[in-house]
Structure 1
Amino acid sequence: MSDLTLRPFFWRPTNLFPETRLVARTHDGIHEYTYDAFGRRVRSLVAALTDRGLGPGDRIATFGWNHHRHFEAYFGVPLSGAQLHTINVMLGDDDIVHIVEDAADDCLLVDPGEPFRTIERLWDDLPIERVVVMAESVPETDIDAVAYEDLLADHEPMRELPPLEEDLPAGMCYTSGTTGRPKGVEYTQKMIYAHAMMVMTPAGLDLSERDVVMPVVPMFHVNSWEFPYAATMAGATQVYPGPSPDAADLLELIEREGVTMTAGVPTVWINLLEHVDEHGGDLSSLERIVVGGSAAPADIMRRYDEEFDVTMEHAWGMTETMSIGSVSRPKARMDDWDRERTAAKRKKQGLLSPGLEMRVVDDDGEAVAWDGQSAGELLVRGPTVVSEYYNRPDATAADFVSRPVGETAGSSEGFSPSEKWLKTGDIVTVDEDGYLEVVDRAKDVIKSGGEWISSIALENALMAHEAVVEAAVVGVPHEKWQERPLACVVTAGGSTIDEPELRDHLADELDQPDWWLPDEIRIVESIPKTATGKFDKKTLRGRLDVVADDE
């Protein structure tokens, strides 16, 4: 039997859908070509890397946005036998230097513009000798670099690709590092194969060659939620939104290319909706938006559904699970449910992806009931879940467990001590239909008087108010109750609202006792975000002079 590698993923679209279009927004405008041309360029990239002695055992980093050259690197690097290491261009200088040093990258592919200027600024601290600028030419610089297009022009497409083994390291991504230094996570050829197949299936994201897919989730973040691989295997038309896309850029691409499916964090779709409200726009081609990173506000989901006939699908995942690990889509027997009942299901993180197993356990490691109320930490395992961190044996013991856990809800059966489960750090409930819902991160749940308060539930309830654009809730120390919730909200432009009104809104919106309500609600100009677009509660706590237990 052949090894499970990326070779069939590359073969299928270039041979069966050679005329299908690929579109990218770049610094120089819109670039269009086909899977056939993509295939030739990837083979030239493999030839160029091989000619420079790069292959198995080497790690090639990328530092750029979503465009066709980055997409080609997603295939050319692992098809050469080397490992693709995507680095987040939004990280701070210290984290970038740490990640490059820790990964010991052999070569760097970098975007022109701000990413290249960042590398120039940090150059003396980076242990990299070979640099390729993903452009037609190299900016004026003292760095010895080559232009990506010159690299390809100097090499004919390689006819016979190098042999690959399924256990070869093929991908690498670092965690966001919100509570400490980012940790490296490695993916093998087999893991990417398994995860892309999982994502492509109807039980995953249901991708086909009929789709026009625009992944807004950055390519520097967890394999862009596997879209570059899964959509390619499906033979779908792909649209890449380029450097720092704003709402106007995204709307233009949706209208121009007839995008049917897209994906990204909730703030992207909140901003797009605001842009359409103010300037108008045609979303008629759009069918689905996949949302991850945090929950989308219920009102935003409702508006996309009712006003534009666009379905927002919640997904859950982590760097350690190669991103997508669950998707919320109603089961067939729920087709005749009314809109309100269906919406209640869709707002959850959904059903676990095929190939994965999960357990939800209490502090003693015992399985909690699947009743939609009992909460515990989510544990997962499967062929796409890592069992260790790169270069971090100290982190492994805290994040992975190999102790008996109930094999089914309420069961006392255990599993082999040699099997590892990932401790996700997510506190979840699972309902009687098997749909998981993230209640909070373990580090963010507020423990008040011995009871848990979900910061996520409070945030979603606040953002259900039409005047609230963003909301973040953190726990602050309290002499009597240990912790109490404090909320920070950003209001829509021109909106006026005060704390008593928001408190009354929360009381009406939440089906919870009064002690859940925040002791204080602050109106702020902005809420800090991580490099992946999530609310940065670590930074927010610092601004509020609040120190979290895990810091």
Structure 2
Amino acid sequence: MTGHAQTLRPFLSRAAQLYPDRELVARTATGTVRYTYAEYADRVGRLASALRDAGIGRGDHVATMCWNHDRHAEAYYAVPNLGAALHTINPLLPADDVRTIVAEAADKLLVVDASLAGALTEAYDPDAFESVEQAVVVGGEASGLPFDAVDIDAFVAGHDPDPDYPELAGDDPAGLCYSSGTTGDPKGVRYTQRMLWSHTMAILTPAGLDISHHDTVMPVVPMFHINAWGLPYAATAAGAAQVYPGPSPDPADLVTLIEDEGVTLTAGVPTVWLGVLDYLQEHDADLSALDRIVVGGAAPPERLIRAFDDRGVEVVHGWGMTETAPVGAVSHCKPELRDADYETQLEKRLKQGLILPGLEFRVVDDDGDEVPHDGETMGELLVRGPWVTTSYYGRDDDESFEGSWLRTGDVVTVDGSGYVELVDRAADVINSGGEWISSQAVENVIMDDERVREAAVVGVPHDRWGERPVAYVVTDADDHEALIDAAGERVRESYPDWWMPDRFEFVDRLPKTATGKFDKVGLRARFEGSLDGSVDADPPDGD
């Protein structure tokens, strides 16, 4: 016999029953919203009833274009509890991409923040949005929307807080998320109830993010980006308090919320926490409640981990992708490292970490043969498991899948202890003279200089070597030559001389993708022609 269906619904009902007075707090454009899990379940029920009366049912897609706030959190349960899929749209995507994914998803209803109405209107095309029957507006009036639009308070008013939810199965839909489209058209991943249930259970564990009812969780990673790394579901399942930072929080906003609400766990990309560090250098703050920061999307610079360690805050490094719902690995120190010195532990913590329980992985070369786990031999990471997709929504993409295995496109090494280290995305590895250079590794070395705010390294054409690295750097320092010399010393301490960038370009800001990562496609496009100069140490000739 099998157990009852693995769905998201019991996470919320348990929280409301066992932790009715635990709070959810949201910073919004109009002030702070605060309510309990008992009230949260009531509000989720009213929204679900309103959606059902608007014609939403099993298999439908409800899109959201919203920031991290209470209304978005309500949709996270109200939509899947009906057997529909919550399609979170990244409002920072180009208008063409928004049109593409709305058309492919055939969204039936759209929930949009009033502050994002302009982005929605810009993306509107009558053919692409033909399926959208209604828009529900959050946080104010949105004039000029090309839909039948209603304010969310009016939308839910008078509806039953205890709807007659349909019976659901693990294979029923729960979510839909599209990749950023930086290496091609955006690709959609449709998550089932079982996929998100399994992912939630995995990240609750100590091998995952170790979330419990003792925590107060603040997702800074956007809720429109891969389910805010699963934190809204996991925090609810654990009965943890939740804090949502609202639209465009700056470092001062984040620090204030950590202090005022006693945040113990937060998560976001490294650039967010580098900004917080800059703020903390100029302002006093009490971070005594904060236990750990989960970092993903890019590897954290070493100085970031050291700086927060000095403040008693652990930086937990994780890896994942849209296709893995998203967390696939987390870097924790294994028992044999418990008594190791700080530098040895730090070396492991900087890696993407250990594959989560429930997942399987392989690392293979170009011929499909597994590579040794020696910490040096590179290969492509393949993963499979209950929360890893085996296809893209609405399309066939056989190149990305080998049966149940997902080809991640990530080039990695695995050391003898099983720690995965991301060398680079396959598209971003620099092939110089037949040998690989990790753009990510060089970036991290450059960003270990506290004078450097951001750095991105890309490969550009070279007459002799095929490709050579060029670094784009954001800094307030005036002495660029001294900064380059310091970067060169650090690069050569850890890597071959020929990994040193041939050129440094100093810029006011780096372009970002819609998910906050460096836009390397755009940076490569900036460099016209090819490099023809020599470097201090020639790359080895490839065989």
**TMscore range, shorter length:** over 0.9
Q: Which deviations, in whole Å up to 9, do the C-alpha atoms of 1:493-536 show, x marking residues without a partner?
A: 3x223246424433334322211111111211111111111011
Per mean C-alpha deviation after superposition, the further-off stretch among 148-157 and 429-438 is: 148-157
Contact kept, 8 Å, 1:74 with 1:84, in 2: the verdict is yes
Tell me if the contact between 1:314 and 1:349 (Cα under 8 Å) persists in the aligned partners: yes
Contact residue 454 and residue 473 of structure 2 kept, 8 A: yes
Match of 1:369, SS state, is: coil
280, 293, 299: which one aligns with 1:295: 299
Q: Counterpart of 2:422?
A: 438
Residues 532, 295 of structure 1: alpha-carbon distance in 2 compared, 3 angstrom cutoff: same
- Residues 500, 250 of structure 1: CA spacing in aligned structure 2 closer, same or farther, 3 A cutoff? closer
Corresponding residue for residue 433 of structure 2:
449
Aligned CA distance change for structure 1 residues 239 and 501 (closer, same or farther; 3 Å): closer
Match of 2:252? 248
Which 10-residue stretch deviates more, 118-127 or 104-113?
118-127
Q: Is the 8 A contact 2:364 2:371 kept in 1?
A: yes
Task: Kindly indicate whether residue 274 of structure 2 is the aligned counterpart of residue 273 of structure 1.
Answer: no
2:362 matched to 1:380? no
Q: Does 1:33 align with 2:40?
A: no
Shift of 1:92: 1.4
Deviations 1:224-262 (A, max 9, x none): 100010110000000000011111111111111011110
Shift of residue 284, structure 1, vs aligned partner? 1.7
Which of 10, 13, 16 pairs up with 1:14? 16
Distance 1:120 1:377 in 2: 40
Distance 1:545 1:106 in 2: 44
Matched, 1:309 2:312: yes
| Superposed displacement of residue 356, structure 1 | 0.4
Q: CA deviation at 1:361?
A: 0.7
On the 8 A contact 1:47/1:157 being kept in 2, the answer is yes
1:533 aligns with 2:534: no
The answer to whether residue 398 in structure 2 is matched with residue 397 in structure 1 is yes
Match of 2:534 in 1: none
SS state at 2:363 partner = strand
* Aligned match of 1:119: 120
Question: What is the one-letter code of the residue matched to 2:398?
Answer: A
Aligned-partner SS, 2:242: strand
Number of the residue aligned with 1:413: none
Question: Offset of 1:420 from its aligned partner?
Answer: 2.1
Q: What letter matches 2:141 in structure 1? A: V
> Whole-Å Cα distance in 2 between the matches of residues 54 and 159 of structure 1?
13
Q: In structure 1, what is the equivalent of residue 533 of structure 2? A: none
Equivalent AA in structure 1 for residue 457 of structure 2:
V
Q: Counterpart in 1 of 2:502?
A: 519
> Which residue number corresponds to residue 102 of structure 1?
104
Shift, 1:477, TM fit: 1.0
**Cα distance change of structure 1 residues 503 and 19 upon mapping to structure 2, 3 Å threshold:** same
Structure 2 segments unaligned to the other structure (5+ residues): 531-543
Q: Does 1:150 find its partner at 2:154?
A: yes
Unaligned runs of 5+ in 1: 402-418
Relative to structure 1, the CA distance from residue 122 to residue 441 in structure 2 (aligned partners, 3 Å threshold; closer, same or farther) is closer
- Contact between 1:426 and 1:439, CA under 8 Å: does it hold in 2? yes
Answer whether contact 1:171 1:188 (CA < 8 A) is retained: yes
Task: Specify the code of the residue in structure 1 equivalent to 2:281.
Answer: D
TM-score (norm 1): 0.93
Does structure 1 retain, via aligned residues, the 8 Å contact 2:5–2:169? Answer: yes
User: Aligned equivalents of 2:482 and 2:41: distance in 1?
Assistant: 60
1:164 maps to: 168
Instruction: State how far apart, in whole Å, the 2-side matches of 1:176 and 1:212 are.
Output: 29
What does 1:494-505 correspond to in 2, within 5 Å?
495-499=477-481, 501-505=483-487
Query: Using the alignment, how far apart are the partners of 2:91 and 2:508 within structure 1?
Result: 25
Q: 1:2 to 1:484 in 2, by over 3 A?
A: same
Once the two structures are superposed, residues 193-226 of structure 1 have per-residue CA deviations (whole angstroms, 9 ceiling, x without a partner) of 0011111111100000000110000000001100
Aligned equivalents of 1:426, 1:515: Cα separation in 2: 23
Partner of 2:65: 63
Determine whether 1:490 maps to 2:474: yes
| Offset, 1:398 | 1.3
**Contact kept in structure 2, 1:461 and 1:506, CA below 8 Å:** no
1:339 to 334, 338, 342: 342
Match of 1:120, SS state, is helix
User: Cα 1:168–1:277, aligned 2, differ >3 Å: closer, same or farther?
Assistant: same
Deviation at 1:130, TM superposition (A): 0.8
In the other structure, the counterpart of 1:411 is none
Q: What is the aligned partner in structure 2 of residue 508 from structure 1? A: 490
CA distance in 1, matches of 2:528, 2:218: 40
Preserved CA contact (<8 Å) 1:24 1:239: yes
Given that residues 316 and 324 in structure 1 are in contact (C-alpha distance below 8 angstroms), is that contact kept between their aligned partners in structure 2? yes
Sequence identity, in percent?
54
Normalising by the residue count of structure 2, what TM-score does the alignment of the two structures yield? 0.94
Displacement of 1:144: 2.0
Q: Report the AA paired with residue 495 of structure 2.
A: Q
**Aligned position for 2:357:** 354
Partner residue of 1:473?
A: 457
One-letter identity of the residue aligned with 2:298: S
Instruction: Give the C-alpha shift of residue 180 in structure 1.
Output: 1.2
Q: How far apart in 2 are the matches of 1:508 and 1:268?
A: 24
CA distance in 2, matches of 1:36, 1:441: 44
**1:546 Cα deviation after fit:** 6.7
Give 3-state SS (helix, strand or coil) of 1:443's partner. Answer: coil
Structure 1 residues 310-329: aligned runs within 5 Å:
310-329=313-332
Superposed CA RMSD in Å reads: 1.4
**What is residue 196 of structure 2 aligned with on the other side?**
192
User: For each residue in 1:125-158, what CA deviation from the matched residue of structure 2 results, as whole angstroms up to 9, or x when unmatched?
Assistant: 43222111123x5334464211111222220212
8 Å CA contact retained: 1:507, 1:514: no
SS at match of 1:167: coil
Shift of 1:159: 4.6
Preserved contact between residue 26 and residue 33 of structure 2 (Cα < 8 Å): yes
Amino acid paired to 1:86: T
Over residues 417-446 of structure 1, what are the superposed CA-to-partner deviations in whole Å (9 max), with x where a residue is unaligned?
xx4211111111111111101011111111
Distance in 1 separating the partners of 2:35 and 2:489? 54
Q: What is residue 425 of structure 1 aligned with on the other side?
A: 409
Identify if the C-alpha distance between structure 1 residues 360 and 546 changes in structure 2 by more than 3 Å, giving closer, same or farther. farther
8 Å Cα contact 2:99-2:124 kept in structure 1: no
